[in-house]
Structure 1
Amino acid sequence: MTLTDMRSEYGKTLVELGSTDQSVVVLGADTTSSLKTAGFGREFPGRFFNMGIAEANLVSVSAGLAISGKTAFASTYAIFLPGRAVDQIRNAVCYPTRNGKSGLNVKLVVSHGGLTVGADGGSHQQLEDIAIMRAIPNMRVLIPADTFAVRALVRTMAAEYGPFYMRMARSKTPTVHSESTKFVPGRGITVRDGSDCTIASCGITVHMAIEAADMLDKEGISCRVLDMFSVKPIDGPLLEKAARETGRIVTCEEHNILGGMGSAVAEAVSERHPVQVRRIGVDDTFGESCRDSEVYMLLEKHGITAANIARIAKGMIH
């Protein structure tokens, strides 16, 4: 299994973009070393801004730069965006209209989402951000599963006008895609085909979904695996096809099941082709502290594991 670091890929891709696009500016909130954006600052100091521990200001300055024609990438930990700056994200980034286009050209890219923050504890384990961000008009929400997705989506965000929110993992993650994989906002990816059940996943749970499908395959159960990296817009046609062809859907995410990717899937399926949907994630509670070596235990506590995905899927079939 090859483990790679999303944050390092993010920083590397920003430098590549900055060398060819003078409009790209990068902002941070005293987390530029952790988010791996400091390298952009060394290469392009005139287009790099560390705003300190002032997240509302980080978003407001990003909006101002976007108004002036820049493509602004603003980054910190997920607990702080949107945690401390929902007002600025809604009213300064998503609400305005510029040159007839909705929203401003601000890309909010965070790390340290979900339970895998570990030792930072429940106060820093962001489990509500997907729900918050997908409810704001004009905001698009992306959750990459690996570094191939990060690289492609950063380039897509730079090329497409308007607000984006992308959530990366703190921990290193296995690769599940390849250089040739196409990532298009609004389109999910069928990682594996299957006929008995569909597992819809995003972020770190995509690899778990693949492992669960492998487990079930040994029992003669064929599971389709979807990477729903684009939570908003969600790929309704892909989910409808999965519902019609497999008859049942399990979702798994590192987020509260209320308002997250699973909710987005359930909404889309219920309106297009209703089938049973079971959501796996944190069930309306906060996280808790654990050592980095114990993160797997925290995920197990909340059922965010390949074994539990397989168990739930099998129970829906039999």
Structure 2
Amino acid sequence: MNDPIMTDMRSEYSKSLIQVGHENSNVVVLGADTTDSLKTSGFGKQFPDRFFNVGIAEANLVTMSAGLAVSGKVSFASTYAIFLPGRAVDQIRNNIAYPSPPGKKGLNVKLVTSHGGLSVGPDGGSHQQIEDIAIMRVIPNFRVFIPADTIAVSKLTNLMASEYGPFYMRMARSKTPLVHSESQEFKIGKGITVRDGSDCTIAACGITVRMALEAAEMLQEDGISCRVLDMFSIKPIDGEILEKAARETGCIVTTEEHNILGGMGSAVAESVSESYPVPIKRIGAQDMFGESARDAEIPLLLEKHGITSFNMAKQAKELRSKKI
């Protein structure tokens, strides 16, 4: 594959917030002392009366966002993934997801985080959020996104702004390679086939989508045709695209920057087991915490947990022998 174009999700999120802020005067943005890091402070410079930095108080961040939503605002609340939902799951559940106006489900709050997964690296195991998908996808009324690149961040930010209800979206800390084209459509509950194939499938999300494409290239060299799916919509999960992949390729490898328990891989396994069961292998953190890794060492940390293109290709080869 050609060398990828690397772009920054937080910068794109900031640009997208300003765009939706111009389009909708009800959009408000809140942060918890990480507004410079997440670059949401750019929204504050454009719209100072619609920007709130609550300080290191994540429970207040969530509750204030809920209160603004009740008053008719479209609330975007952002900080690091380890703090949302890490510190405020009670407030997220009871103040955003549970209260439902007549005919609606939950409040109109969008929780958007950065610094998710093991690739946070230097922040250490205590700040490498590998449980958030599991937490957020079991809270009723929430929808959960893990974008693969800045194009996805932009499209999904606009989608969330226009769609009523609670969302959770997690971005990466480091710059990420472009995977999608500007013409790519993103729909709630719909995965994307980024590469077709007939012998096996790799279902990925976030930074692992690019790795999955690299794995597919490796497999092609061995005469194996590998389908790659971007399952950015973790909840609702796209059961249709997964059943099609199961029927047509016979096995699925899942890969994510999250604990394999309760994450995207679990969501895929749940869906496929009810529609068209096939062998599945989940790649991700193996029910263990991460550890400190300098930026240059992050690939080694991911390798320790098997989150590499080489391992994806290896697991796909092994899984093919178990096809029914």
The Cα of 1:67 is off from its aligned counterpart by 0.1
Q: Which residue of 1 aligns with 2:152?
A: 149
Which residue pairs with 2:304 in the alignment?
A: 301
Between the two proteins, the alignment pairs up a number of residues equal to 318
- Match of 2:307, SS? coil
Whether 1:242 and 2:245 are equivalent positions in the alignment is yes
In structure 2, C-alpha distance between the alignment counterparts of 1:199 and 1:290, rounded to whole Å: 27
2:255 aligns with 252
Map 1:1-318; keep pairs closer than 5 Å: 1-318=4-321
Taking the aligned partners of 2:114 and 2:31, their CA distance within structure 1 comes to 12
TM-score where L is the length of structure 2 = 0.98
| CA deviation vs aligned residue, 1:150-208 (integer Å, no higher than 9, x gap) | 00000000000000000000010000101100000100000011000000000000000
What is the CA–CA distance in structure 2 between the aligned matches of 1:153 and 1:42, rounded to whole Å?
23
* Per-residue CA distance 1:121-160 (angstroms, 9 max, x = gap): 0100000000000000000000000000000000000000
1:35-72 per-residue CA deviation (whole Å, 9 max, x = no partner) reads 11000000000000000000000000000000000000
How far does residue 292 in structure 1 lie from its aligned partner after superposition? Answer: 1.1
Amino acid in structure 1 at the alignment position of 2:27 = V
CA RMSD of aligned residues (A): 0.5
Structure 1 runs of 4+ with >2 Å offset: none
Alpha-carbon distance in structure 2 between the residues aligned to 1:70 and 1:287: 37
CA deviation after TM superposition for structure 1 residue 250, in Å: 0.2
Q: CA deviation at 1:99?
A: 3.5
CA distance in 2 between partners of 1:37 and 1:156 (Å): 18
Q: Deviations over 1:75-102 (max 9, x none)?
A: 0000000000000000000000113211
User: What TM-score do you get using the length of structure 1 for normalisation?
Assistant: 0.99
Contact 2:280/2:319 (CA < 8 Å) preserved in 1?
Answer: no
Q: Is the 8 A contact 2:255 2:283 kept in 1?
A: yes
**Matched-pair identity in %:** 73
State the one-letter code of the partner of 1:310: A
Amino acid at match of 2:64: V
